[in-house]
Structure 1
C-alpha cells in the first residue's frame, strides 16, 4: 500500500502568500474569452479545490463531482455573469460582506464581473469594485481555510479555473501520433504483491495480495504501469510491503525490471512505467539498476529531451528512439541532494517534478468509498494541485483507485466503477485525463475496459 509519508516539494510559505495578496491580477494580452453558458466547477488555481455551497456558505472542497453542490451554471446577465447552483434553482454564488455566500440570483450580490487572465484562468469581481472571490491566505503550518472571501488586492489567490463539468476533446489520434500525456495506461497498484513471483509481506499480511498474477502475466495482459515498494536489505533493493522482515522468498527489484526490459525487447512498440515507493539509498538503487541487462537501451529520460519546454513526445517518437521504460521515484530530491547523489543523475525521475497524483486511498477495505479526487501532495507544507500545468508542459496524471486493504469483492465492485469515477470525478478535478489508472486486482471488474474508453478521446 502506498502510505503517506514526509512530502517535500513546493512549499508555500506565509511570506510568499503575503506577497501574493498585494498584487492584483492583471488581464493577459489576448486572454481567453469568458466561457459559454454551461455547467462548470469554480476551481482555485492555487489549491485545485472547488467552490461548494455548504448551507449558504461558499467553501472550497475536495472535488467530488456534484456530491456536495459543487456545480454551477454559468450564464450572462447583461455585462456581468451569474453562477447558479445546479442543485438549487434561483440560488447563485454571491457575496455577503467580505464572505462568499449563496444568495438569490435576482439580487445584485449574485452578479460577477468575470475577467480572463489567460491560460484559461479568470477572476470573479464584484461589479464596480476591485473586490474579488478569493482563497483565504494560508497561515504557516496549515492548509488554506475552507470558507472563501471577497477581498481586494488578491493576486493568484483570486485566480480561478471555470472547468466544464463534462469536457471532451476530439477523437484520439492514431497510436503513433498520440502524445504520452494523451494516453491512459492500466496500472497495477503494488504489482509485486501478487504471491506468484515470491513473498511480499510478513505472515498473515501476505494473505491479502494486491494482485494475484505475476509480473510476466501482468505484462501479457496489458498492464503497463507498475507500482513497486522497495526496501533496503544487505541484498540490495528488495520488493516488500512495509518491511522485508520475515518475508519468505522476496523478489529483488532488478529481477522484475529485467522481466520488463525483456518484454520491451520482444515488443518494440510498447511503453512501460515503473513507480517506486522508495526507501533505499540512491547508491543502492543505482547498483540495483546496473544489474539489469539492456536497461540503458530502453530507459526514457524526459529530463534530457526538452519535455518541460516542448511537451511530451508522441508514442511513435518514443518507439523510434527506443525510449520505452520510464522510472519514477517518490523519494525527496532535496534529501538526495543533501546525500550527494540524486536519482535523476542515473535516470530515475522524481515523480513530483513530472506528475500529479490524487490521494492514494478511497477508504477502508469494506464499506462506502470516498470518490473525491484531490492531490496527494496538498497539505500544510506542500501545494501541488492536481491542476498544475506549466507553459508548454502538462504533468502526467496518476489516478489512484483502490482502498486501504485489497479485498477481492470490494476491488471487483470498485473497478467496475473505474471509468465513471475517472470521467465524472477525477478528470475535471485534474483538468486532464488520467495517464495511469492504478487499481488493485486489475483482473476483476474489467478495469481494462475503462482504459479502453479513456483512450478513445483527448482532453481539450
Structure 2
C-alpha cells in the first residue's frame, strides 16, 4: 500500500530533465541481457528505432511493424531483420549496415548499462553502435555509426515487439500513470459553447458537443488554446480576431470545477496551448470559484521521489484537477513569474507527447509515433523516464483538419495504433488518448481496452 505523499516542493528545468534521462544508473538483475525474441533496437538518446534502409542502418521514427524496424535477437547474439531473413544488424567499417547473419561483422556483445539500457559492442573492442554526433542547430543524423564516442548516444533499449503486460490493479490501487483517459483535442472548438475561430475556420469544429456534455460523456482530458485579449485569457483557434462570442478560459474551467465537486471520484486534466502572459493566466484562474480546492500540485507532493499517487489518494485529498501549460519555463523566468507558482505545471517537465499531426484532413495518415519535442533545439524522447518517476504519456491521434468522416475512421483505429505503434515507441502505456470528434469511431473502447492492463 502506498503511503500518502508528503507536501514537498520540487522544481526542475528541461535541461535538468534531459541530464537525468541520460545519467547512468546502477545495473540490476532486471537489466540482464534479454532472451531471444523480437525487439525494436531503440535509441535511449532520441527514442528512434534502428531500421534497415536498403542495407544501411538508420534511426527512423517508430512505425511498428512497418519500415523494417523489427529485429529478432538470436541465441548467438546476432539481430536478424524480420523483414529480411538472413540479414542481420552489423557494420562495415564505421557505418552500421545489414550484413549476412553468418558474417563476423554481425556479432555484438550486449552489455547492460542500467535503466534497462544496453550497449552493442564489437566483440574484443571498445567500438559500439551509436547515434552520430548532433551538428549544431540540427537533429542527430539518421545513419547510425560504430564508434568510440560518449556513453549516452551508445545506449539502446531492446523493446519487445510483444511486451508482457499485467492485469490492471484494483480500482483503489491504480496509480495515475497506470490509467488512460479519453481526451478531446481542441475541446473548446465545438461550436456549441460559443465562437472559437475566425470565419471559415469555424466551419470545421474539432468537437461537436459542448464542454458540459463532454464531461458527461466521459471525456477527462481537455486540450484548450488560450490567447490574450483585453478581457483576459480567451479560448480561440490561432487568433481571436473576428471570433463571435468567444469563451473565456475561466468559464470552461468553472464548468470542470463544478463537475468535479459533484463527482468527487473523478479526475480531469487540462492541457493549455498557451499564448498569454503568466500574470494574465494567474488572474484568469483567480476568477474560478473553488479552483484551489480541487487543484492537484504534483510539484508539491513528492511525485518525482515517490512516483504518481493512486487515483484513490487523489480523490481522498480532493485533488482532482491537473493543469499543464506548453509554455516555456525559461521564458516565464524572464518575465519574472513562473506558472507553477500558481499551480500550472510545465508540461515538458511532467509528460511526454508524440507529434501532434497524422497528416492532412483527408488521404493516407502517418502513424509513426515520435516525440513532439525532438527537434533542433529540444530532445525529450518519448522514452524519457527517471528513477522512481515515469512521465505521463499524451498520445495525439488526429489530423491537421478535423473532417468528420476522416476522424470517425481514424478513431476506430485508435486502439490498434496505440498497441502496435505508440506503446512500444514510448515504452509506456498512453495516459491520454487525444482525438477529434470523440463521439465518432468509438475511441472510448480504446480507452477501456488500455485500462484492462499495465505495461511494466
Fold conserved (TM > 0.5)?
A: yes
Counterpart for residue 74 of structure 2: 75
User: Is the CA contact (8 Å cut-off) linking 2:17 and 2:349 kept in structure 1?
Assistant: no
Q: Which residue of 2 aligns with 1:194?
A: 190
Q: Where do residues 2-151 of structure 1 align in structure 2 (5 Å cutoff)? A: 9-10=14-15, 28=27, 32-77=31-76, 81-151=77-147
CA 1:412/1:153 → structure 2, altered by over 3 Å: closer, same or farther?
same
Per the alignment, residue 320 of structure 1 pairs with 316
Q: 1:316 to 1:12 in 2, by over 3 A?
A: closer
Cα distance between partner residues in 1 of 2:28 and 2:170:
35
> Equivalent residue of 2:308, what SS?
coil
Aligned match of 2:325 in 322, 329, 334?
329
Residue by residue over 1:323-372, the C-alpha shift from the partner in whole angstroms, topping out at 9 and shown as x without a partner, is 10000000011000010000000000000000000000000000000000
1:276 alignment counterpart: 272
Mapped contact 1:31–1:116 kept (Cα < 8 A): no
Contact 1:31-1:117 within 8 A present in 2 as well: no
- Structure 2 spans left out of the alignment, 5+ residues: 1-12
Distance in 2 (alpha carbons) for counterparts of 1:12 and 1:199 = 38
| 1-structure distance, mates of 2:242, 2:92 | 61
Unpaired runs of at least 5, structure 1: 1-7
**Mapped pair 1:342 → 2:338:** yes
**1:361 aligned counterpart, secondary structure:** coil
* Residues 395 and 11 of structure 1, relative CA distance in 2, 3 Å threshold: closer
Question: What is the CA-CA distance between 1:9 and the residue it aligns to?
Answer: 4.3
Are 2:210 and 1:214 equivalent residues in the alignment?
yes
Distance 1:299 1:264 in 2: 10
Q: SS at the partner of 1:52?
A: strand
Where 1:227 maps in the other structure, the secondary structure is strand
Q: Secondary structure at the match of 1:76?
A: coil
- Contact 2:65–2:420 (CA<8 Å) still a contact in 1? no
SS of equivalent residue, structure 1 residue 144: coil
Moved over 4 A (4+): none
What residue number does 1:440 align with? 436
Q: 1:167 aligns with which of 130, 150, 163?
A: 163
> What's the CA shift for 1:27?
7.7
Task: Report what 2:248 is aligned to.
Answer: 252
Give SS of 2:167's match: coil
Distance 2:120 2:270 in 1: 41
Whole-Å Cα distance in 2 between the matches of residues 418 and 444 of structure 1? Answer: 11
Per-residue CA deviations over 1:209-262 (Å, capped at 9, x if unaligned) read 000000000000000000000001111000000011100000000000000000
**Counterparts of 1:71 and 1:306, CA distance in 2:** 38
Contact 2:249 2:284 in 1 (8 A): yes
RMSD: 1.7
Aligned residue pairs total 442
* Pair 389,27 (structure 1): closer, same or farther in 2 beyond 3 Å: closer
CA shift, 1:28, in A, is: 3.2
In 2, Cα distance between equivalents of 1:278 and 1:26: 35
